[in-house]
Chain A
Amino acid sequence: MKSLEELRALRDKMKSQTDNRSVAAENETVIKVGMATCGIAAGARPVLDALLDEADKRHLHDVKISQTGCIGMCRMEPIVEVFKGGQKYTYVLMTPDKARRVIAEHVVNGNVCTDYLIGGSAN
């Protein structure tokens, strides 16, 4: 069973690591997933899970993934907004697979997945 004692041990173990992490905020990528009724109903939760999982697997500490409310185009949900290099990229009609591709190709390698962008050929 997981106990609070284990969490205390984790705290002590992680204390030394936190400082290193906060330094890397310079080149941060921010990702937002629409999580209002429209997004949730369209499948935003598995998309968010896939983004978190992929970022975790690749140890991407300079990627900040969060959720937001209704982005305003409910029929294009799930919508993922990527803020990178001073630009905003709006990915629409997302799926967990597409989300993993965005992390790999756009966030990591810097190649925008134009097919999935709003107005792109995949939608």
Chain B
Amino acid sequence: MRELALNILDIAENSLAAGAKLVRIAVEADFGADAMSISIEDDGKGMSEEMLARVTDPFTTTRTTRKVGMGLPLFKYSAESAGGEFSIASAPGKGTRVRATYRIGHVDRMPLGDFGGVALQLVTMNPHTDFLIEAAADGQRGALDTRELREALGEDIPFDAPEVRSFLKEYIRENLVDIFGGRL
């Protein structure tokens, strides 16, 4: 993984696989404190304590085709190699919350990358899941809530219709990307 945004996409895919109805993603930066955090929270099926204890081990996976699962280990590593911390909480039937923190100026911190592109992909390619995606930096906040967008657009027009997609692209740039001013 070369971008934190790709880690976000990867972890959010786990939420989708867990049958989440709502996925909340937040990227927050405090440039004064040289700190940033990423959290992904879902209301999917969650996991047992026993699974939770093993889940950052690369040789743990829910897949049946092979025994390797790299998503969470890579995300954990991205934080711990950049002066930050990683945490995960989960309860069966309730959902899962994953959080990673970073020192923004740490030499090994991966760039955020194309966060807007990832947000667009998640929202347009997963019509049956709602997303609340938030960005915050130095007191400024922006958000995208697919429940709000769905209400405005109506039920019968999909988010991946070309016209809607280009609206969302701009909407995401204004609300979730510009806030960081290219500094992440």
Contact = CB atoms under 8 A, between A and B. Distances in A.
Interface in A27-73: 35-38, 40-41, 45, 48-49, 52, 56, 66-67, 69-70, 72
B63 A4 contact: no
Interface of A: 1-2, 4-8, 10-11, 13-15, 18, 35-38, 40-41, 45, 48-49, 52, 56, 66-67, 69-70, 72
B164 A10 contact: yes
Interface in B148-168: 148-149, 152-154, 156-157, 161-165, 167
Closest 8 CB pairs of A and B: A2-B171, A7-B152, A4-B152, A37-B71, A37-B70, A11-B154, A2-B170, A8-B152
Contacts, number: 77
A75 B171 CA distance: 36
A4 B165 CA distance: 14
Nearest to B65: A72
Contacts of A10: 153, 157, 163-164, 167
A8 B162 CA distance: 15
B179 to A, nearest CB: 13
Interface string B93-127: 00000000000000000000010011001000100
Given A7-B149, A11-B154, A56-B165, 19 more contacts: A2-B171, A2-B175, A6-B167, A7-B153, A8-B152, A8-B153, A10-B157, A14-B157, A35-B13, A36-B13, A37-B10, A37-B69, A37-B74, A45-B9, A45-B118, A66-B125, A67-B125, A70-B65, A72-B65
Given A40-B10, A69-B17, A4 B148 contact: yes
B6 A2 contact: no
A18 B171 contact: no
B184 to A, nearest CB: 18
Given A36-B13, A37-B70, A67-B125, A18 B152 contact: no
B17 A7 contact: no
B174 interface: yes
Contacts of A70: 63, 65
Which secondary structure dominates chain B's binding surface? helix
A35 B161 CA distance: 21
Given A11-B152, A37-B69, A2 B125 contact: no
A13 B164 CA distance: 11
Interface string B1-32: 10000100110010001000000000000000
A41 B157 CA distance: 32
A100 to B, nearest CB: 17
Given A18-B156, A37-B69, A45 B114 contact: yes
B136 to A, nearest CB: 18
A52 B96 CA distance: 31
B75 to A, nearest CB: 10
B117 A45 contact: yes
